[in-house]
Amino acid sequence: AICREGEYVKSDGAEVGDVVVLTKPLGTQVAVNVHEWRVRKTAKWMELSKRKILSVEDAEDMMHAAVCSMARLNRHAGSLMLKHHAHAGTDVTGFGILGHAQNLMDNQSRPVGMEIHTLPCIANTAEVEKSGVLDFRLVKGYSAETSGGLMICMKEEDAVAYCKEIEEIDGEPAWIIGMVVEDSERKAKLLDNLEILEVSSER
């Protein structure tokens, strides 16, 4: 397909003061691995169960949420970017959210960086990581995602309207997770007071 100028969103237009929106929760890698451990009754699952980190129901809910997230396309999330005046964006997949955030900042025409203050995670995935059974690097921002969401930079008022409309269409929330800041070094980082937001999915 051929697009004219103004029919698509470039990836290099983030501005100081933009907020950062994420359209799907993180944690698919954790959820899928825990599911495999539970089905195979591995030592890792036994440890999670023995220490009461997770119940069977918790693990099933986690996998259900991951499957629903992976099955939902970014079609609507992407198509609404132009309507709501997005300045830049990328998907969140194999490099984790911080890896993709850094790639996005490296590509900007202005000297900007990104500060991430919130990580929306599939319920209990962060608890699995904190247990020490296996370090997926989820809360460090580097856990790989399968069919992850979009990370979009836009003005706050546009972001609020975008999040409202995407939830109305898809029936799932999107979140404001960070800010674009002036930074000559173009760094993306997680803030020290990072909030882990537990995202539950109804079955």
H/E run at residue 184? none
The structure tokens 């079609």 sit at 75
What is the residue-level pLDDT of the chain in tens, covering all 203 positions?
Answer: 678 888 889 899 999 999 999 999 999 999 999 999 999 999 999 999 999 999 999 999 999 999 999 999 999 999 999 999 999 999 999 999 999 999 999 999 999 999 999 999 999 999 999 999 999 999 999 999 999 999 999 999 999 999 999 999 999 999 999 999 999 999 999 999 999 999 987 76
Name the phi and psi angles at 84, rounded to 5. Answer: -100, 20
Predicted pLDDT at 202: 72
Predicted pLDDT at 142: 98
Number of H helices, E strands in the chain: 7, 6
Predicted pLDDT at 1: 65
Cβ partners under 8 Å of residue 3, min gap 6: none
CB 30 within 8 A of CB 127: no
Predicted pLDDT at 7: 84
Predicted pLDDT at 203: 63
Name the phi and psi angles at 117, rounded to 5. Answer: -110, -10
Q: What is the pTM of this model?
A: 0.96
Predicted pLDDT at 162: 98
Name the phi and psi angles at 143, rounded to 5. Answer: -75, 130
Predicted pLDDT at 46: 97
